[in-house]
């Protein structure tokens, strides 16, 4: 059996199309342009690429995109002052502080300084609490993108056994909350889990968010299961160049799973599409306007 490939690029394109349509209605009917501010501190090359892509796609969707690039010598106080300014800027509906921050900064303090209603990454402690108690919140982009792909593939997820490998605050934990919200029976596995292979074999839905290249082989996967591979790992090729792989060994997993996301072209494109979706949602909430359908949970 060969698994169906869940095409994250195509689903992300349809999310971006919905976002752009809603932005056009906001501009034309209400005179409101959703605005996203992205703050990058330092010179991390991967972060620079992410920030560039985010800005480009924000503009393509018809939104206002503002970038603040600060040197890594910036003091925490200066960053907090900028966040305060953005919190009070009525043209800005979403604020994203690109992580990781330089070591001299306290990331929790910085993230929790963002107005929760503008926290389009969904990392503010208020949004974490709202999600955990099943209330309307800003939902972290990567898990939201994974849930959209799962709903797109399965329709209802109710009653399915879901295993999330990884318990980070940005992927694993919110992913588990979302799956629970959709009535899955959820297990969260991590580096101390005993018999990880056995735990994974019980999964109808397996989400891998570990950061270890090709760690999960095909024989850990239940035949017919849906596999969402969040991992992005760069490994060397024979020609001295590098390539991206996920946390799942795609070649063996594709023979067993019912459906699987590729790396690249799976979860990655969905993450940015969901950032745009969250910005539109935040804008609608700020203005008391109806929220776009299908762009949040
Ligand atoms: P973290 O490093 O924060 O968390 C990794 C988790 O994996 C931890 O909970 C850790 O367990 C667990 N883990 C580590 N080793 C093992 C092991 N041998 N067996 C079982 N569990 C293990 O990573 P993130 O959650 O931030 O990211 C995970 C992956 O997803 C990375 O590859 C990252 O690049 C990618 N990513 C992709 C995104 C996208 O848009 N596609 C967005 C965000 C992340 P413990 O807690 O016990 O240490």
Q: Are 244 and 234 within 8 A, CB to CB?
A: yes
Cα 191 from chain centroid (whole Å): 22
3-class SS of residue 82 = helix
| Ligand 1 midpoint to CA 121 (Å) | 17
Residue range(s) occupied by CATH 3.40.50.720 in the chain: 141-269
For residues 282 and 25, the answer to whether their CB atoms sit within 8 Å is no
User: Which tokens sit at 233?
Assistant: 């790992």
> Which pLDDT does position 166 carry in this prediction?
98
Indicate the top mutation candidate among 191, 246, 263 to test ligand 1's pocket, ranked by most ligand atoms within 8 A of CB.
191
The residues that bridge with 216 in the sheet, in sequence order, are 248
pLDDT in tens, the chain (297 residues): 799 999 999 999 999 999 999 999 999 999 999 999 999 999 999 999 999 999 999 999 999 999 999 999 999 999 999 999 999 999 999 999 999 999 999 999 999 999 999 999 999 999 999 999 999 999 999 999 999 999 999 999 999 999 999 999 999 999 999 999 999 999 999 999 999 999 999 999 999 999 999 999 999 999 999 999 999 999 999 999 999 999 999 999 999 999 999 999 999 999 999 999 999 999 999 999 999 999 999
CA neighbours within 13 Å on the CB side: how many for 98?
26
CATH of domain 31-117: 3.40.50.10860
In the chain, CATH 3.40.50.10860 sits at: 31-117
Give me ligand 1 centre to Cα 235, in Å.
16
Residue nearest to ligand 1 atom 24, measured at CA: 168
> Which residue has the least CA distance to atom 41 on ligand 1?
268
- From 157, 160, 268, select the one nearest 222 (Cα to Cα): 160
Pairing state of beta strands 233-236 and 242-245?
antiparallel
Please give the number of the atom of ligand 1 that sits closest to the Cα of 247.
32
Q: How many CB atoms lie within 10 A of CB 55?
A: 15
Q: What CA dihedral angle connects 223, 166, 210 and 273, to 10 degrees?
A: 90
Report the CATH superfamily, name and number, of domain 141-269.
NAD(P)-binding Rossmann-like Domain (3.40.50.720)
Q: Which residue has the tokens 């605005």?
A: 35
Positions annotated as catalytic residues are 54, 98, 121
Whole-number Å distance, alpha carbon 188 to ligand 1 midpoint, is 12
């Amino acid at each position: 059996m060969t698994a169906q490939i869940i095409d994250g690029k195509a689903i992300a394109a349809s999310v971006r199309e919905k976002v752009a349509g809603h932005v056009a209605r906001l501009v034309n009917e209400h005179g409101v342009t959703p605005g996203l501010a992205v703050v990058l501190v330092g010179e991390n090359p991967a972060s620079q690429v992410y920030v560039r892509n985010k800005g480009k796609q924000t503009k393509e969707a018809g939104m206002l995109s503002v970038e603040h690039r600060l040197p890594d010598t910036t003091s925490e106080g200066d960053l907090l002052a900028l966040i305060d300014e953005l919190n009070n800027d009525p043209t800005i509906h979403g604020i994203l502080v690109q992580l990781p921050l330089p070591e001299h900064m306290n990331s929790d303090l910085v993230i929790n300084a963002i107005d929760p209603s503008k926290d389009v990454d969904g990392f503010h402690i208020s949004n974490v609490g709202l999600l955990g108690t099943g209330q309307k919140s800003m939902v972290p982009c990567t898990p939201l993108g994974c849930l959209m792909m799962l709903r797109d593939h399965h329709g209802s997820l109710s009653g399915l056994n879901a295993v999330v490998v990884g318990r980070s605050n940005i992927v694993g934990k919110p992913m588990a909350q979302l799956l629970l919200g959709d009535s899955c029976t959820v297990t969260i596995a991590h580096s101390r889990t005993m018999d990880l292979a056995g735990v994974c074999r019980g999964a109808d839905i397996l989400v891998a968010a570990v950061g270890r290249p090709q760690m999960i082989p095909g024989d850990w996967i239940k035949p017919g299961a849906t596999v969402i591979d969040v991992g992005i790992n760069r490994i060397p090729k024979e020609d001295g160049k590098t390539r991206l792989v996920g946390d799942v060994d795609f070649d063996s997993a594709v023979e067993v799973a019912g459906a699987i996301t590729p790396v690249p072209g799976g979860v990655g494109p969905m993450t940015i599409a969901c950032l745009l979706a969250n910005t539109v949602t935040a804008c609608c909430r700020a203005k008391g306007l109806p929220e776009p359908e299908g762009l949040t949970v």
